Structure 1
């Protein structure tokens, strides 16, 4: 709990029980991309008394403080993941909504080369590939 208190204070946020509980959910589901509704459902299933409006407000505060990254993938609602130091891109299955993280060194090099060819420096990017599982040939 002390680590979570430190993380919140370091981000300039007052330590409150709802913030700690929401941070715990995000850490426990670090491999997932959770919507505010997902976080709320998990809290309710764990017997926590935190309202949906509070979850939305805290996630927005976490995003502003740099604790989480918010993604608005096409065809879906906003999802959140803990902000990490390690860059990655995403593939979104258009049929299931599943989000798959990936990193490809060649893609990264090519993006930097494209920016350089235009006399620019790449400072940040977000790459999302929308995919569909191949159906077996019938």
Structure 2
């Protein structure tokens, strides 16, 4: 657990430096939101989810502030903004140094989980070879039923 907290602290410092580099203040609201994402780094949080998490530690924060902060963090490349087709944007850390992952979205309960393993690398290479097109990113989502919901379909 101590190693994880050190990792969070390092990540937090990098983000703070990036914000300062772009002349943004590190307000208490932004600090609280960043900490919520660091503590829930495996989650795909909406603005509403984030608001519910942070309002306990920072009761004066408004939902509009959360939306603005999430959009700013996405604009700076700190967070990745995702659309999973449920009418709410979800955010997760943009891990440029990690291997690409894909999302599995349950169409019954809305649960979002990740599928590690980039099966599209060979397809990207083929596209580049055949078309001379340089692929810089891709986004793949699978929609279906999670194990829990699948068992209730019968």
TM-score grouping bracket, smaller chain normalisation: 0.7 to 0.9
The reply to whether residue 119 of structure 1 matches residue 132 of structure 2 is yes
Question: Does the C-alpha gap of structure 1 residues 57 and 117 become closer, same or farther in structure 2, counting only changes over 3 Å?
Answer: same
Contact 1:11 1:66 in 2 (8 A): no
Structure number with the bigger relative contact order (C-alpha 8 A, sep ≥ 6) is 1
TM-score (norm 1): 0.85
Unaligned runs of 5+ in 1: none
Answering whether residue 120 of structure 2 is matched by residue 107 of structure 1, we say yes
- Aligned in 2, Cα 1:7/1:114: closer, same or farther, shift over 3 Å? same
Kindly report which structure 2 residues correspond to 1:1-138, keeping only aligned pairs within 5 A, or say none: 3=13, 5-85=16-96, 86=98, 87-133=100-146, 134-135=150-151
The superposition leaves residues 7-48 of structure 1 with CA deviations (integer Å, 9 ceiling, x where unpaired) of 432454211111111111111110000000000001123353
Poorly superposed stretches of 4+, deviation over 6 Å: none
- The two structures have a TM-score, normalised by structure 2, of 0.77
1:64-113: per-residue Cα shift (whole Å, max 9, x none)?
A: 11110000111341000111121211111111111111232433222332
Could you list the runs of 5+ residues in structure 2 that have no partner in the other structure?
1-8
- Count the aligned residue pairs: 138
1:6 and 1:113, CA in 2 relative to 1: closer, same or farther beyond 3 A?
A: same
Classify 1:132/1:6 alpha carbon distance in 2 versus 1 (closer, same or farther; 3 Å). same
